[in-house]
Amino acid sequence: MYGVALALAGACLLVTPYTVLAAQRTGLTVQNPSAATQLAPSYFPDRFDWQHKKPEELGMDAGRLDDAVKHAIASENPATKELTLYLATTMGATEPFDTPIGPVKVRGAANGIILRHGYIVAEWGDPKRVDMTFSVTKTFLTTVVGLAWQRGLIHDVNDYAGDYMPPGVDLFEAPHNQKIKWDHLLRQTSDWQGTLWGKPDWADRPEGDKPADWPNRKLWEPGTHYKYNDVRVNVLALAVLNVWRRPLQDVLREEVMEPIDASSTWRWYGYDNSWVEIDGQRIQSVTGGGHWGGGMFINAYDMARFGYLFLRDGKWKGRAIVSERWIQMARTPGPANANYGFANWFLNTARKPLSAAPESAVYFLGIGNNIIYIDRDNDIVAVVRWIRGGDALNEFLAKMLASIK
């Protein structure tokens, strides 16, 4: 299956039944093999040369676009930039087991970048600064799961995750956890129960009237109840690590970040105690966010490249990187949450989350706030970092989209 995926990337055009299967997973067709690499002539930035264009060249009003940028700067999150303190006084204020066990970095000021038709039309702050991106990390993680599915390492997202675990990895051996499928983990509906890396599942956003209630939470049938929970996302990371059998950082770098010409500055961290041994190799299992430190440390330019990859249906410079079918699944809501697809694909169903944006828009969101906004209707990607909560993002989008002539 590994060789078939490379064939679809352009290394070979021999059509076999295995090629057809891989083509179906990537969203390509093979009736005309040469068509597999003939994609729409969109602009894609080179590694060290991202072209800028004036807003007027791309059908935007410069003054109104500048108003959007000024709003993003003025709406910077007023909380402390010392993120260890920030974590302690937000989630840590109501959660036990809140001690960070992964790296935490002091953040920079508000910054961001706006693309239209792939070109940079606006940027502010210091987009080159590498910062924590918190739960945007989840979208990188689920993309790595998607790459395993494309390769045939995961046959079906409705398979039980436990069937893919080797002896000695007891993530899904408890009766309640045996029912968990990959789709449940991807959608944050697994209701996985247990402790991973010293963090009990119930300690993340605990439920109950008093602390004594927290460990005795109600158990939900997997797939029926949405609950945002970083312990369970870390379970997904460890589970797919056992499928890939090599560091997920390497998978992401080789399969996504290098093909989209990202910089060499991003890093994906795990915890101090999240090291495992696979095939005799010591590997750190990464996290799906920065709740207890770790996660993706990245700059706004690389975030924009990642978002632009999905705006272009998973393709980059004629190469299919992420399956169109996977993207369709990721942006389809599950039965338990109409505004959420795979982690961390936030959907704009009925335009309720973001009234200023089209319903087709999606966004990857991490606290702080860190946002990658993807707008197919207007061919826009926007990265907005360290904007306050509430209506600030919607107000920014209203100003940005009002600039389109």
**In this predicted structure, what is the pLDDT of residue 5?**
34
φ, ψ of residue 123 in degrees (nearest 5): -155, 155
Overall average pLDDT of the 204-227 stretch: 95
pLDDT at 31 over 80: no
Overall average pLDDT of the 56-84 stretch: 98
- Per-residue pLDDT tens over the stretch 336-345: 999 999 999 9
**In this predicted structure, what is the pLDDT of residue 27?**
60
**In this predicted structure, what is the pLDDT of residue 25?**
62
- Per-residue pLDDT tens over the stretch 100-136: 999 999 999 999 999 999 999 999 999 999 999 999 9
pLDDT at 314 over 60: yes
**In this predicted structure, what is the pLDDT of residue 19?**
41
Cβ count within 10 A of residue 17: 8
- Per-residue pLDDT tens over the stretch 351-390: 999 999 999 999 999 999 999 999 999 999 999 999 999 9
Tokens of 324: 């169109």
**Could you tell me how far CA 337 lies from the centroid of its own chain?**
17
Choice among 10-19, 186-195, 225-234 with the minimum mean pLDDT: 10-19
| pLDDT tier, 269 (very low <50, low <70, confident <90, very high otherwise) | very high
Residue of 86, 97, 84 lying closest to 294 (CA atoms): 84
Q: What is the 3-state secondary structure (H, E, C) of the chain?
A: CHHHHHHHHHHCCCCCHHHHHHHHHHCCCCCCHHHHHCCCCCCCCECCECCECCHHHHCECHHHHHHHHHHHHHCECCCCCCHHHHHHHCHHHCCCCCCCCCCCCCCCCCEEEEEECCEEEEEECCCCCCEECHHHHHHHHHHHHHHHHHCCCCCCCCCEHHHHCCCCCCCCCCCCHHHCEHHHHHHCCCCCCCEECCEEHHHCCCCCCCHHHHHHCCCCCCCCCCCCCHHHHHHHHHHHHHHHCCCHHHHHHHHHHCCCCCCCCCEEEEEEEEEEEECCEEEEEECCCCECECEEEECHHHHHHHHHHHHCCCEECCEECCCHHHHHHHCCCECCECCECCCCEEECHHHCCCCCCCCCCEEEEECCCEEEEEECCCCEEEEEECECCCCHHHHHHHHHHHCEC
**In this predicted structure, what is the pLDDT of residue 2?**
32
- Per-residue pLDDT tens over the stretch 176-185: 999 999 999 9
pLDDT at 214 over 50: yes
Model confidence, pTM: 0.91
**In this predicted structure, what is the pLDDT of residue 40?**
40
For the chain, what is the mean pLDDT?
92
**In this predicted structure, what is the pLDDT of residue 9?**
33
pLDDT at 36 over 80: no
